[in-house]
Amino acid sequence: MATLKLQAMFLFLALLMLKNVALQAHARTFFVFGDSLVDNGNNNYLATTARADNRPYGIDYPTRRPTGRFSNGLNIPDLISEAIGAESTLPYLSPMLTGQKLLVGANFASAGVGVLNDTGAQFANIIRMPMQMANLEQYKRRVSDIIGPQETEKLISQSLTLVTLGGNDFVNNYYLVPFSARSRQFALPNYVVYVISEYRKILMRLYELGLRRVLVTGTGPIGCVPAELAQHSRNGECSAELQRAAGLFNPQLQEMLDDLNREVRSTTFIGVNIRQSSIDFISDPGRYGFVTAKIACCGQGPYNGIGLCTPLSNLCPNREIYAFWDPFHPSEKANRLIVQNILVGTTDYISPMNLSTIMTLDASEKV
């Protein structure tokens, strides 16, 4: 009887130790929220046209297959995972996201969404921000069932998060059609103020849910993407209106983040200036090994900027020398340049500090 008890006790202890080893072995948990720049396949599970699950998407991905990432290969979240020594997060809707895989984190993003609920209405079934955040709550309950509530809070507070939103609030809302509802409602400067105020609520909610290190990207060079050049440009110059929107949005975003940090008395929100990285390779593509930052690798029409990237599109043979993969999204190579600046960039690229500094700080606080 006593031996049996002892054996049971031993088994229990062994299991406990195993669980701790498993917990310690995984890298920092990583969460991703936002739009197509960071969606890694959630939309594959939804009835929507905003998806990247056809060839030649994924042509340079390790499997050489489309995954739902809007890239020829890896996207920005994959490269951040790589940098922090973690495997890529799975899409939250993936049936493979169970058990220990949950501890890696989750990607809640959905192509087509914006800060505002009405952004991307034409894509029908996408996961808008209130739902992405509800999914984080559900995630927490699922993880709690595995490691318990205390360890879950720790995992959440020590995690890293990436949020990428805003581009679609202009491209797929305000400027989607001439005289859109939002453009009749707001002059551009007032619309920007409104979007920023709604963005602030989203970020505050993420803070309330326990996240403490949140990288927040502004909009990319939305006026300079091949899709805009094809529609609005005569000589390859960027769309002035969209550039004006990005020019208003990005600095106000950084101000809002600084203000939020003061309110929560910590450096929780870190602003990432994707636009600056993109301006670098758009203004001097050769310096980064690109032959063009105007023509998409995959597409059709002027600048390969019309319509979608499909199996019937033009496809460039070498994706390393194109800054844009499709009419809207950077190539893996361009994503690497963006993530490099997130990692070790100056405050022109990431503010108030870069990811390598954050990682060092957090590692020293943990012990």
Ligand X SMILES: *[C@@H]1O[C@H](CO)[C@@H](O)[C@H](O)[C@H]1NC(C)=O
Nearer residue to ligand X within complex by CB, 93 or 342: 342
Q: Which of 23, 209, 356, 359 binds ligand X (CB under 6 A)?
A: 356
Identify the residue among 320, 353, 359, 362 touching ligand X (CB under 6 A).
353
Distance CA 351, CA 273 (A): 8
Tell me if the bond preceding 352 is cis, omega within 30° of 0: yes
Candidates 27, 209, 357, 359: give the one binding ligand X (CB under 6 A). Answer: 357
Tokens at residue 127, please?
A: 């996961």
Distance CA 359, CA 342 (A): 12
In the list 117, 157, 185, 266, the residue contacting ligand X (rule: CB under 6 A) is 117
Task: Say whether 326 is catalytic.
Answer: yes
Residue (180 or 356) nearer to ligand X, CB: 356
Pairing of strands 105-107, 30-34: parallel
Residue 321 CB-half CA count within 13 A:
7
CA atoms within 13 A on the CB side of 160: 22
Q: Which is nearer to ligand X, 92 or 349 (CB)?
A: 349
Residue 130: CB minimum distance to ligand X, A: 4
Residues binding ligand X: number (CB under 6 A):
10
Residue from 20, 49, 314, 346 in contact with ligand X (CB under 6 A): 346
How much helix, strand and coil, in percent to the nearest 5, is found in the chain? 50, 10, 40
Catalytic residue among 36, 94, 110, 313: 36
- What's the closest the beta carbon of residue 118 comes to ligand X, in angstroms? 8
Closer residue to ligand X (CB): 103 or 129:
129
Q: Which is nearer to ligand X, 151 or 198 (CB)?
A: 198
Rounded CA gap, 132 and 27, in Å? 23
Active-site hit among 71, 280, 329, 331: 329
Q: How far is the CB of 81 from ligand X (least distance, A)?
A: 19
Q: Which stretch binds ligand X (CB under 6 A): 161-169, 185-193, 302-310, 350-358?
A: 350-358
Q: Does 354 bind ligand X (CB under 6 A)?
A: yes
For 67-84, letters b (16+ CB in 10 Å) and e give: bbbbbbbbbbbbbbbebe
Q: CA geometry: angle at 271 spanning 265 and 276, to 5°?
A: 155
Q: How far apart, in whole angstroms, are the C-alpha atoms of residue 246 and residue 248?
A: 5
Decide if residue 130 touches ligand X (CB under 6 A): yes
The stretch near ligand X (CB under 6 A) out of 13-21, 144-152, 272-280, 344-352 is: 344-352
Tokens standing for residue 95: 């049936």
Q: Which residue from 198, 258, 320, 362 is in contact with ligand X, where contact means CB under 6 A? A: 198
Taking the least distance from each CB to ligand X, the nearer of 157 and 347 is: 347
- Alpha-carbon gap, residue 128 to 146, rounded angstroms: 27
Q: Rule CB under 6 A: say whether 347 interacts with ligand X.
A: yes
Site pattern 290..329 for ligand X (x: CB under 6 A): ----------------------------------------
Give the HSE-up count for residue 318: Cα atoms under 13 Å, Cβ half-sphere.
6
Token couple for 194: 């409104």
Q: Phi and psi of 322, rounded to 5°? A: -115, 130
Q: What is the largest CA-CA distance in the chain?
A: 87
Binding to ligand X by residue 359, rule CB under 6 A? no
Report the amino acid identity of residue 287.
Answer: R
Stretch near ligand X under the rule CB under 6 A, chosen from 32-40, 104-112, 232-240, 342-350: 342-350
Q: Does 197 bind ligand X (CB under 6 A)?
A: no
183 flagged as catalytic: no
The single-letter DSSP state of residue 314 is: E
Closest approach of Cβ 25 to ligand X, in Å? 25
- Return the residue matching tokens 């599970």: 45
66 with 55: CB under 8 angstroms?
Answer: yes
Is residue 26 annotated as part of the catalytic site, yes or no?
Answer: no
Site residues for ligand X, window 169-188 (CB under 6 A)? none
Evaluated on CA atoms 288, 292, 294, 297, the torsion sign reads: negative
Residues that bind ligand X (CB under 6 A): 117, 130, 198, 344, 346-347, 353-354, 356-357
Active-site residue set:
36, 326, 329
